[in-house]
Amino acid sequence: MTDVAVDKQIELAAEKLNNGELIGLPTETVYGLAADARNPAAVRRIYELKNRPITHPLITHVAHGADIFAWVDETRVSDATHVMIEQLTAAFWPGPLTLVLPKAEQIDATVTGGQDTIALRCPAHPLAQAVLRELSVLQNHPAVGVAAPSANHFGRVSPTRAAHVRDEFGDAVWVLDGDVSDVGIESTIVDLTRGMPVILRLGHITADDVHRVTGVMPQVHQSHQKVDPNAPRASGTLLAHYAPRTPLVWASEVVEAAGVVLCHSPDFDVAGFAAHIRLPDDAVGYAQGLYHALRELDGHAAPRIVVEDLPEHPAWDAVRDRLKRAVVGSNEEQS
């Protein structure tokens, strides 16, 4: 596309958001199903379209770190948390980090799933940034917000390409094409409302990264900790999530090669499988290709998708977390 064509697309995206429409918005993590966060009717349509329970809060995307306090109740932020916000946003924004903070009173709770906390992220994708800036011009507001969960039906695999969003929602949603998402898995979510940082969802930014920047080692909400499904703090913390339709099984748990296989080791033997995808043998490259691979393998309508077990190294924790949930979710679907 020419620069002029891209500019037109950015304008169109911002106009649609300003008119209360939903769009598919590229970010560096995954594509979002986006609406103007200050338009409760538009935000409600996100829940409807995704079949998402209205109690599952959305992430609000902002253009700059400085916009945080348009959304957050500063009176409920301690000095120590204030320092952590500054450290984390300086180090990781724009980027794949979401912060959960006390919600400002004037913000309608539709976007926060009725909670009095709000999840905020400043996305690094240049098109997401451009759309936020353009919306800010259209609304003549310095601190606009775009609510955007991943652009997939609830519980399903997140989209990392414009085509994935079209597969999910067809003509119901116009998509801004921002190419392949760099990171490939959803942002790390850090809850800063509990006195100490708690990682609610693992991602590209690790507990060690948070430790390095804040001096505090965050607690990590473990994926095997079943949370009450009626009152989830984070839908990414539901055990069954990110699921393809085909049952997923770990290679270490199958006896014979059958179905299709997702592997990463150069020497993994794919003989006997109807199809295979070999992702890069490093956690970052693997994460980038993971959701596309799951969608492709799902498309074979095979009896099962076998997944080569992942290295035990902590660098693989975020993708391991996604796959563990996908294994549970894809097998629940069958029963």
Residues that bind ligand TXA in the complex, under the rule CB under 6 A: 27, 29-30, 32, 56-59, 98, 100, 112, 115, 117-119, 121, 148-150, 186-187, 189, 200-201, 233-236
Contact partner at residue 58 from ligand TXA, Mg ion, none, CB < 5 to 8 Å by partner kind: ligand TXA
| Rounded Cα distance, 100 and 112, in Å | 10
C-alpha neighbours within 13 Å on the C-beta side of residue 137: 10
C-beta closer to Mg ion: residue 156 or 166? 156
Q: How far out from the chain centre does Cα 68 lie? A: 19
Does residue 161 have a known ligand-binding role?
no
Does residue 223 have a known ligand-binding role?
no
Does residue 187 have a known ligand-binding role?
yes
Shortest distance, position 50 Cβ to ligand TXA, whole Å: 8
Shortest distance, position 27 Cβ to Mg ion, whole Å: 12
Shortest distance, position 90 Cβ to ligand TXA, whole Å: 19
Does residue 304 have a known ligand-binding role?
no
Q: Is 98 in the site for Mg ion (CB under 5 A)?
A: no
Shortest distance, position 129 Cβ to ligand TXA, whole Å: 13
Q: Is 9 in the site for Mg ion (CB under 5 A)?
A: no
Does residue 52 have a known ligand-binding role?
yes
**Site track 122-161 with Mg ion (rule: CB under 5 A), x = hit:** ----------------------------x-----------
Shortest distance, position 89 Cβ to ligand TXA, whole Å: 15
C-beta closer to ligand TXA: residue 28 or 298? 28
Q: Is 115 in the site for Mg ion (CB under 5 A)?
A: no
User: What's the 3-state SS for 206-236?
Assistant: CHHHHHHHHCCCCEECCCCCCCCCCCCCCHH
| Rounded Cα distance, 5 and 1, in Å | 6
Does residue 29 have a known ligand-binding role?
yes
Helices (H), 51-161: 79-92, 126-139
Shortest distance, position 189 Cβ to ligand TXA, whole Å: 5
- 222 Cβ contact list (under 8 Å, min separation 6): none
Identify which of 142, 165, 145, 139 has the alpha carbon closest to the alpha carbon of residue 24.
165
Does residue 150 have a known ligand-binding role?
yes
Identify which of 99, 98, 100, 104 has the alpha carbon closest to the alpha carbon of residue 74.
104
| Rounded Cα distance, 290 and 320, in Å | 11
| Rounded Cα distance, 218 and 78, in Å | 17
Q: Which residue is nearest to ligand TXA (CB)?
A: 149
CA dihedral sign of residues 316, 319, 323, 325? positive
Q: Could you tell me which residues are annotated as the binding site for ATP?
A: 52, 117, 150, 158, 201, 242
Q: Could you tell me which residues are annotated as the binding site?
A: 29, 52, 61, 117, 121, 148, 150, 158, 187, 201, 242
